[in-house]
Amino acid sequence: MKIPELSKLFRSRADPTNSMWQSAYTFFFGSTTSGKTVNERTALQTTAVYACVRILAETLASLPLHVYRHTENGKEKAKDSQVYRLLHDEPNPEMTSFVFRETLMSHLLLWGNAYSQIIRDGRGKLVALYPLLPDKMEVDRTATGEIFYEYQSDKGKVVLRKEEVLHILGLGFDGVKGQSPIAMAKNAIGMAIATEEYGAKFFSNGANPGGVLEHPGVVKDPKRVRDSWNAVYQGSSNAHRVAVLEEGMKFTPIGIPPEQAQFIATRKFQINEIARIFRIPPHMIGDLEKSSFSNIEQQSLEFVKYTLDPWVVRWEMALQKSLLTLSEKEEYFIKFNVDGLLRGDYKSRMEGYSVGRQNGWLSANDIRELENLNRIPEELGGDLYLINGNMTKLEDAGAFAKKNGGEEE
């Protein structure tokens, strides 16, 4: 298959559509065992899903993102690079770096894929990055096996070469396209939607279960009796109203009370189930039942190490692969800085800095940069590395005494 000739640079970003239509995940989406339809949009209406997506998207978007240049002594920020400016400040005239990364990360968490069109000028210089909606993107191969992207815009289909698309993949089966976490966990999310809807309807009915109106005789128009009863007594606004029954009529409530159906326990379990899908510590989405002052800090560190770090690596590798040319990859690399999330409290940081300073692997300016303070001028010793005078090499032990007291006989 030959890729059609590309039209002018595409920049339109149409409104999202329901992924149930023209979606690669149609097989996975749809009705669940709970009877609720689950897709990206309905799933996001669940508070636990919304909280998990928001936490990961905002956290990754808030991380410092820099382009570095390899140097003889290690690395330095390549602030003169166009890639640096786009990733650190404004990837396009419409978005800040934070909004751009937050948008792509939310796409990645809901659809399992994040796409952005790479705009370059005639000399191949990077000009801008524009997000593309995952539910309108298809990934395919030519007859020779080359990957290309087909995007359904408001003006028709646009075909893009792989060099023109930044594609960040989630967990998948073929390394070409990620799978939607929402589709894979639709039953768990569907149950959360069902219990939430049950609770809403329960309170909309005045927090009382349904019942049966019993009449000793024959009711000629049962629909009229039922409708007149509901009009007066149904709904939370009509709770605690006094019912007046005529002609020997009785009201018998039926249904399973929420506490007997373990309604509350089910809702709490589904919150943890959704947190498990996204690997979010429960305390970060408001479940503090098993958290305490002694373990929350450790859970937060584990969040960075086991949850956020794999996403960071996915981003870094995808950005380097798509945005840097072959020659640039030898000189530059792209890196997120997660050190700020791993920092302990003030006392712990100061104790750590003290150890590094006294053992000679941190200077005063190293510490001040970590604390976002201004550097001490070099002539005042800001870049000096010091060690305690009582530390020496084993082979030099006793050398000072020999020098001052003469050679041993």
The HSE-up count of residue 93 (CA atoms within 13 Å, CB side) is 3
Of the listed ranges 49-58, 142-151, 157-166, 341-350, the one predicted with least confidence? 341-350
Q: Which burial class, exposed, middle or buried, applies to 349 when counting CB atoms under 10 A from its CB (0-12, 13-18, 19+)?
A: middle
Whether residue 217 has pLDDT greater than 90: no
Mean pLDDT in residue range 262-279: 78
Distance (Å, whole) CA 282 – CA 55: 12
Tell if the pTM clears 0.95, that is, is over it.
Answer: no
235 or 66: whose pLDDT is higher? Answer: 66
Distance (Å, whole) CA 83 – CA 330: 15
165 or 229: whose pLDDT is higher? Answer: 165
**Predicted confidence band at 173 (pLDDT cuts at 50, 70, 90)?**
confident
407 or 268: whose pLDDT is higher? Answer: 268
Mean pLDDT in residue range 266-270: 73
Give the Cα-Cα-Cα angle 391, 395, 398 (nearest 5 degrees).
70
**Pure H helices in 205-308:** 222-233, 263-278, 296-302
pLDDT tens digits, 362-403:
888 888 888 778 888 888 888 888 887 776 666 666 655 566
Q: Which burial class, exposed, middle or buried, applies to 193 when counting CB atoms under 10 A from its CB (0-12, 13-18, 19+)?
A: buried
Distance (Å, whole) CA 41 – CA 299: 29
Q: What is the pLDDT of residue 42?
A: 80
Q: Which residues pair with 147 in a beta bridge?
A: 141
| Residues contacting 3, CB < 8 A, separation 6+ | 142, 146, 148, 159, 161
pLDDT tens digits, 72-119:
878 899 999 999 999 999 999 999 999 999 999 999 999 999 999 999
Q: What is the pLDDT of residue 332?
A: 93
Percentage of the chain beyond pLDDT 90 is 30
Whether residue 46 has pLDDT greater than 60: yes
**Pure H helices in 63-185:** 82-88, 97-111, 181-184
75 or 12: whose pLDDT is higher? Answer: 75
Task: Calculate the average pLDDT of the chain.
Answer: 78
User: Do residues 289 and 299 lie in contact, with contact meaning Cβ atoms separated by under 8 Å?
Assistant: no
